[in-house]
């Protein structure tokens, strides 16, 4: 009985969000479970956050568990369905709407101002955390794609860094002329299912995935602007890429490291995978360069998808205040700065973007012209149904014409987005 009252009291206190004032931090006990994704934070950052947390809460144990990206949604669904999900979890920014809308994440709207830099969080990440006007997560970091290229191959083929899509094709053709006799060579390696590298072409011509009016979504991937972007991309792929037209981008860094590829469209962190001592080729590093995906308008860059992750707190967590404290550390100035300088990612706040230098700075600059996927709780279902990936495969393999493939995809996207979940 006494325990029950104690527990009830603790819950009330926790619900008020004032645990840290009510109980001396040194007396707090318990275990905080955190799920971070593979490759997101360098180990030194995680260790630093845990050390700072431990200094304040010596009797609280923090378990940081690293999850793999493939099949993570199934794992998250199962965890949220159980009674004891992890207290804190990193969520891909396209997943938050789904979990926030369905009641899996704690609403932290009231505590927003308690997080450092919350006034200067990246708009696009903040949007991804916001569902029906409520805040369900703290932005963690962002990533955007640019073209990684081989400076030595460009020099040997007499190609220059392109500033328009036409120049991109011209540079690629020079490379194909120079190296094309190697049957494994691709000037621009573009696996058929690589939707997030195709999106900039759609957006650059003024196209979009879907548009919302009121509560109703309509597919826009079959608009003439979208189709125009896709036909430019199809031309590039057919002339410059020998990548698997039905494959996905998971292997592109290993493929690039083999040395038969001049350009890939990639995230900033992929430089690290390409030059990894074990699975990659470190000797390529001095020859790697990057440039933003050029626009069809000379001198401009194409809008890119702003990927990234957010940190959510489970609604069922018994340690709401502790969870917010931990999230606040990882999302705060000290460790976000390290995420930039050590991890090479784009931080969650505009106030720290200037810390990037070298190649990461090019990716950070590309992020300035960025877009996000339709912010709907059903968007995750469009992703897991592979609608856009299958559309690209149909186009690249020539199984469907662009008008037919985009029409089918557009209808399917509208159906999924408008479904009552």
Partner 1 sequence: MRAAGEIGAAKAPARSHAEASPSNFRAIVARHSLPYALIAPALLVILGVLGWPLVMLVWLSLQHYGLRELFQHQGTFVGLKNFSTILADPQFAYTLRTTIIFTVVNVGLSMLFATLIALLLERVSRFVRVLLGAGLVFVWATPVIPAVNLWQWMFDYEFGVMNWLLTRIGAGNYLHHNWFENPLQGFSVITVIVVWGAIPFLAISLHAGLTQVPRELVEAAQIDGARAWQVFRHVTVPTLRPLLLVLFSLSTIWDFGVFNQVWVLLNQRPAQDYYLMAVFSFQESFRVSQYGLGSAVAVVMIAILVVATFLYVRQTVRSINEGGA
Shortest Cβ distance from residue 81 to partner 1 (Å)?
Answer: 5
The reply to whether 179 sits near partner 1 by the rule CB under 8 A is no
Shortest Cβ distance from residue 59 to partner 1 (Å)?
Answer: 31
Q: 155 with 363: CB under 8 angstroms?
A: no
Query: Which one, 46 or 394, has the nearer CB to partner 1?
Result: 394
Q: 371 with 303: CB under 8 angstroms?
A: yes
Residue (of 421, 279, 309, 406) closest to 35 by Cα position = 309
When binding is defined by CB under 8 A, the residue of 133, 183, 214, 299 that contacts partner 1 is 183
When binding is defined by CB under 8 A, the residue of 18, 44, 63, 384 that contacts partner 1 is 384
The reply to whether 389 sits near partner 1 by the rule CB under 8 A is yes
User: Cα separations (Å) of 369 from 110, 201, 293, 346?
Assistant: 30, 13, 11, 14
Number of residues that bind partner 1 (CB under 8 A): 33
Within 8 A by CB and 6+ apart from 278, the residues are none
The reply to whether 178 sits near partner 1 by the rule CB under 8 A is no
Q: What is the DSSP string of 114-138?
A: GSTTTTSB-HHHHHHHEETTEE-EE
Exposure of 132 by Cβ count < 10 A (0-12 exposed, 13-18 middle, 19+ buried)?
Answer: exposed
The reply to whether 107 sits near partner 1 by the rule CB under 8 A is no
Site mask, partner 1, residues 133-172, x = CB under 8 A?
A: ----------------------------------------
Helix (H) or strand (E) holding 393: helix 387-396
Query: Which one, 59 or 258, has the nearer CB to partner 1?
Result: 258
Q: Which of residues 228-257 bind partner 1 (CB under 8 A)?
A: 242, 244-248, 250, 255
Q: How far is it, in rounded angstroms, from Cα 374 to Cα 235?
A: 27
Shortest Cβ distance from residue 200 to partner 1 (Å)?
Answer: 22
The reply to whether 390 sits near partner 1 by the rule CB under 8 A is yes
Region class of 386: left (phi > 0), else alpha (psi between -120 and 50), else beta: left
Query: Which one, 20 or 381, has the nearer CB to partner 1?
Result: 381
Tokens read off for 27: 């007396």
The reply to whether 397 sits near partner 1 by the rule CB under 8 A is yes
Binding site for partner 1 (CB under 8 A): 70-71, 73-74, 77, 80-81, 98-99, 101-104, 183-184, 193, 242, 244-248, 250, 255, 381, 384-386, 389-390, 393, 397, 421
């Amino acid at each position: 009985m006494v325990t029950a009252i104690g527990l009830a009291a603790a819950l009330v206190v926790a619900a008020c969000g004032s645990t840290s004032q009510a109980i001396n931090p040194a007396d707090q006990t318990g275990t905080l479970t955190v799920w971070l994704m593979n490759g997101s934070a360098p180990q030194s950052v995680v260790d630093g956050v845990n050390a700072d947390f431990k200094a304040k809460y010596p009797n609280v144990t923090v378990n940081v568990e690293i999850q793999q990206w493939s099949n993570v949604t199934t794992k998250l669904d199962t965890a949220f369905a159980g009674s004891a999900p992890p207290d804190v979890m990193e969520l891909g920014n396209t997943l938050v709407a789904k979990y926030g809308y369905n009641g899996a994440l704690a609403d932290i709207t009231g505590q927003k101002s308690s997080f450092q830099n919350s006034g200067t969080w990246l708009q696009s990440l903040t949007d991804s955390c916001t569902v029906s006007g409520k805040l369900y997560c703290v932005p963690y970091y962002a990533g955007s794609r640019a073209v990684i290229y081989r400076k030595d191959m460009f020099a040997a083929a007499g190609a220059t860094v392109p500033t328009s899509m036409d120049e991109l094709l011209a540079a690629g053709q020079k490379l194909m002329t120079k190296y094309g006799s190697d049957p494994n060579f691709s000037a621009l390696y573009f696996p058929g299912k690589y939707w997030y590298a195709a999106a900039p072409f759609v957006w650059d011509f003024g196209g979009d995935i879907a548009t919302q009016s009121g509560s109703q979504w309509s597919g826009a991937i079959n608009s003439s602007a979208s189709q125009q972007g896709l036909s430019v991309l199809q031309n590039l792929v057919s002339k410059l890429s020998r990548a698997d037209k039905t494959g996905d981008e998971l292997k592109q860094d290993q493929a690039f490291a083999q040395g038969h590829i001049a350009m890939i469209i990639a995230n900033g962190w992929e430089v690290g995978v390409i030059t990894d001592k074990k699975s990659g080729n470190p000797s390529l590093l001095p020859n790697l360069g990057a440039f933003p995906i050029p626009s069809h308008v000379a001198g401009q860059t194409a809008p890119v998808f702003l990927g990234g992750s957010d940190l959510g707190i489970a609604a069922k967590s018994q340690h709401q205040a502790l969870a917010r404290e931990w999230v606040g550390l990882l999302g705060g100035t000290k460790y976000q700065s390290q995420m930039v300088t050590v991890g090479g990612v784009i931080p969650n706040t505009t106030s720290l973007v200037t810390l990037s230098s070298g190649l990461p700075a090019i990716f950070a600059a590309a992020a300035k012209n960025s877009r996000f996927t339709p912010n709907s709780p059903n968007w995750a279902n469009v992703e897991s149904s592979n609608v856009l990936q299958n559309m690209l495969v149909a186009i690249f393999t020539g199984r469907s014409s662009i008008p037919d493939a985009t029409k089918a995809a557009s209808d399917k996207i509208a159906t999924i987005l408008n479904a009552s979940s």
